[in-house]
Amino acid sequence: MLTRFFRQDSPIAYLPLPLLVLLLWPGGGTEGLSPFSMGPEVAQQVVKGMPFYIPVRLLMELSPWLAMGLSLLLVLGLAHSLNRMANDAELYERRNHLSVLLLPLLLALMPFGLVPGPAFLGVWAVIWALARAWQAMGRKNIRSALFDAGLLLGIAGLFYLPYTFLTVVIWATLAVTRPFSFREYILPPLGMAVMLFLGWGVLHFIDPGLWSPVASMHFDSGTPAPSAGHWMYTVILVSVLGVLALSVIVSFTAVYGHSVMREKNIRASFLAFAFAMGLLALFAWWLDRRVPPVLLAVPGSLLLVYPLLQAKRTAWADAAIWVLLLLAGWARWAG
């Protein structure tokens, strides 16, 4: 029943989302810790590394309720953008709203996953960039769309600089959908460079020391590091995610196998996006031993739609969702 509710192409699927976010905020493994408890050294790093994050950070620090409300609005907006991009690009065999449910669940499984960080604030521009590029692939002249996608990736990079690496996803989309054209390949990085240069110029004019690009590569947004969870939770979580990953591989392979060429191209580009986000997560772990939750939750929520949508017996899909919901509640409220 739960899966059937979100399988439909209806905006009423957004109705349970506010309650879910409020129930699980600020995310798993927090154990009562405040998401804004940071020392002066970390605060200095946040200011130097992520200037576009400063206004949001100051706004959230005014009140816990204000932070929760802002998080709710941002999760709603991201879920809507992600779901619309996937449906408009025809990533799935039929339109649905399953990713609207999966996104907050996956975010809540990770420490402070629902608290807006630099990567969280910048991912909306990444989603818009992909949507702009994918929607234009069937047209004869797509140069303006590619330049716009580069501009959006530049905006995302001003929130979280590693997002600039996702230019390779636009190149991968071009490689599988169109004959080679040097002008088309150069437009995304050109648009991104223009936006980054404009952002750097404005910030340098305001305060020459406000933005340190090297510090922007770090994830730390001031949230404290949570302690390790119960070993039983870790075992169950790894087991569940392993089963879900296997089901994703089987279902995606089946869908990809009987897709028409246009659908195969878009789904291949989506795989490139998921792989690139995984590389960014590994890079963040290598730098800080912590990963921005949104880097895993965004591609994960899109991939998990495949087995849940293709399940012939909705009882199995419902069981998977309930297990994720119980794990998210355990991570948030246990201990």
Retrieve residue 317's tokens. Answer: 């899909």
Domain that holds residue 242: 2-333
Tokens 């330049």 map to which residue?
Answer: 147
10 Å Cβ neighbour count for 148?
A: 19
Q: Which of 63-72, 129-138, 200-209, 250-259 has the lowest mean pLDDT?
A: 200-209
Are the CB atoms for 322 and 246 separated by under 8 Å?
no
Retrieve residue 72's tokens. Answer: 């709710």
- pLDDT tens figures, 224-259: 555 556 668 888 888 999 999 999 999 999 999 988
H or E element that contains 62: none
- pLDDT tens figures, 115-140: 888 899 999 999 999 999 998 887 88
* % of the chain exceeding 90 in pLDDT: 55
Give burial (CB, 10 Å; 0-12/13-18/19+) of 190. Answer: middle
Retrieve residue 160's tokens. Answer: 């979280």
Q: How many domains does the chain have?
A: 1
- As a whole number of Å, the end-to-end CA separation of the chain is 31
- pLDDT tens figures, 86-97: 999 999 999 999
Omega before 189 within 30 of 0, i.e. cis: no
Q: pTM of the entire structure?
A: 0.92
Are the CB atoms for 219 and 287 separated by under 8 Å?
yes
Largest CA distance in the chain: 60
